[in-house]
Chain A
Amino acid sequence: SQQGEEDPQALSIQEGENATMNCSYKTSINNLQWYRQNSGRGLVHLILIRSNEREKHSGRLRVTLDTSKKSSSLLITASRAADTASYFCATDGGTGFQKLVFGTGTRLLVSP
């Protein structure tokens, strides 16, 4: 069974707009990670947030974590066409860094 579920399943925006994706998970975690997958390629690690953190930034990415609601959000500001990809959250189920469980992903389309 999937630990993380992303919402929405698909998102279409214009360049320059912000994109927000949400992830809900089921059990306790030590950390939550976000990955990007370009079509036909492997996943690329974007950012990791620990369970004792509430917000983290990396460039145009902002991740929030609410452990009481078992949810996280990924915000991409000032989107570019190159941000077009699928985005996945992944949780460790409290195991630390082993055995990440991935959600089903959000497909983001950024139009020029």
Chain B
Amino acid sequence: NAGVTQTPKFRVLKTGQSMTLLCAQDMNHEYMYWYRQDPGMGLRLIHYSVGEGTTAKGEVPDGYNVSRLKKQNFLLGLESAAPSQTSVYFCASQGTYYGYTFGSGTRLTVV
């Protein structure tokens, strides 16, 4: 089925550990986004990409890095996880028209 796939769905990290979240879309969309969702805060943009090989910072980029080596994939990395990064992470993609297509999310807990 066409859409946005996020892996993993759940993860528990210890403070200081690193990990990479993978987002894959099969709709040939140019734009891809990483958001985090925290209670009472809505969704906040971490990083985004307007095409293969490009990335840019969003509202809350500190502590995260991203890469878009292939058009269909957008990776979000945490180099040294902190408890403040406990959140639900959503990836979204967007074509040249219309709204976002979201993945089902990754629930990350940093202890």
Interface residues on B, range: 20 to 34
Q: Digitize A1-42: 1 where CB-to-B-CB distance is under 8 Å, 0 elsewhere.
A: 010000000000000000000000000000001010000111
Taken together as a complex, chains A and B put the C-alpha atoms of A35 and B100 apart, in Å, by: 9
B residues within 8 A CB of A82?
none
Taken together as a complex, chains A and B put the C-alpha atoms of A105 and B100 apart, in Å, by: 17
For window 66-81 of A, CB contacts with B under 8 Å fall at none
**A37 → B minimal CB distance (Å):** 9
Question: B78: CB under 8 A from chain A?
Answer: no
Q: Digitize B12-44: 1 where CB-to-A-CB distance is under 8 Å, 0 elsewhere.
A: 000000000000000000010101000011111
> Contact: B101 with A45, CB < 8 Å?
yes
**A3 → B minimal CB distance (Å):** 9
Question: B108: CB under 8 A from chain A?
Answer: no
> Contact: A43 with B31, CB < 8 Å?
no
